[in-house]
Amino acid sequence: MANADELKLDYPLGDALPASGATIELAPGVRWLRMPLPFALDHINLWLLRDRDESGRAGWAVIDCGVANDATRAAWEQVFAQHLDGLPVLRVIVTHMHPDHIGNAHWLTQRWGCRLWISATDWNAARTANQATTGVGGAGAAAFFAEHGLVDPEALEKVRARADYYPSMVPQVPRQFRRLLDAQTLRIGAHDWRCIVGYGHAPEHIALHCAALGVLISGDMVLPRISTNVSVIDIEPEGDPLPLYLDSIARLRALPDTTLVLPSHGKPFKGLHERIRQLTQHHADRLADTLAACRERRCSAADLLPVLFRRPLDLHQTTFAMGEAVAHLHALVGTGQLAGRLDADGIRRFGPQDDAHARG
Ligand SMILES: [Zn+2]
């Protein structure tokens, strides 16, 4: 079911979706595939671009990989057998380090003897996350969520128990990579694609724009139906990612409004400028809600969940929602409108700046 905002976007392919292990051609040499995900968000879009290596050999560049599980690898095998026109995969380009994007990068690069291309920051973050617990699982994450008011012992125990969350979906990260940088141009097959960095969702997310085709591979930075997750996580507890995210999508306004946007979740769409306007408005509204709630009484991030997310959340969604709530609180601390203080019960609550001053 479309919401009012979504009706303002144009989906040129209507309701067409590629079946598992199949592809849909979106532009010459640009193919769309979808892989299953084991979350409430149940799919990811991946892309195939006709490519040519340095020796002139024809093949494909793969953009993003899906999580490392049997279902996804079986779907990949079907794509290899039926949808590559008998040509090899020549490189694997990954927009960012999240498990649904990089999960199979090691398997794919081993399978085809080719290289991973990714930003250096996200390669390092993936290598670290693969060997340690970050963000959504383990003792550090549980302590972070507890400080922000998540007190349900059962939920905290589940977070603690998810120490292997990242490695379970990303068992290995390639030992070597080629570095993607903002404004770098990649020649992929017959076309130039420009790398566009984005912050606030992942450490150094890379989107790809092809002016000749009028196509933007937006990764997770611009999604048509849901808003991109912008979270503070336990390894960077004072982080302020929301202004970084909003600045990043504002930069994408420089692209033509006629651009066909290929998002990692949802359907390919047109209406980039409208979608950026909607997302900017969405966060302005959530910031206003956050400020209003904190002016009424000092609030922890957990206190804000029913204000910001007016629906029941499972544990996976709760951890993301907590990170988002902290991000909105920190954005308002950044502008001087709120101040946070650790209370005697060990919970950090946020209230108006002057209130914090008055109470010392
Ligand atoms: Zn992501």
Q: What are the tens digits of pLDDT across the range 72-96?
A: 999 999 999 999 999 999 999 999 9
Tell me whether strands 338-342 and 348-352 are parallel, antiparallel or unpaired. antiparallel
Give residue-wise pLDDT tens across range 318-357.
Answer: 999 999 999 999 999 999 999 999 999 999 999 998 654 5
Spatial CB neighbours of 320, under 8 Å, sequence gap ≥ 6: 136, 229, 231
- How many residues can be counted in the chain? 360
Q: What is the pTM of this model?
A: 0.94
Q: Is the pLDDT of residue 147 over 90?
A: yes
Instruction: Read off the pLDDT of each residue in 287-312 and give the average, rounded to a whole number.
Output: 96
Instruction: Read off the pLDDT of each residue in 178-206 and give the average, rounded to a whole number.
Output: 98
- Give the type of residue at 28: P
Query: What's the 354 CA to ligand 1 centre distance in angstroms?
Result: 36
Query: What's the 228 CA to ligand 1 centre distance in angstroms?
Result: 8
φ/ψ (deg, to 5) at 154:
-65, -45
The DSSP secondary structure of 342-355, one letter per residue, reads E-TTS-EEEEEHHH
Q: Which two tokens stand for residue 113?
A: 């003897």
Query: What's the 1 CA to ligand 1 centre distance in angstroms?
Result: 24
Q: What DSSP character marks residue 162?
A: T
Query: What's the 53 CA to ligand 1 centre distance in angstroms?
Result: 28
Q: Is the pLDDT of residue 3 over 90?
A: no
pLDDT at 16: 94
Query: What's the 264 CA to ligand 1 centre distance in angstroms?
Result: 8
Residue with tokens 């150094």: 204
For residue 253, CA distances in Å to 56, 84, 170, 241 come to 35, 34, 33, 19
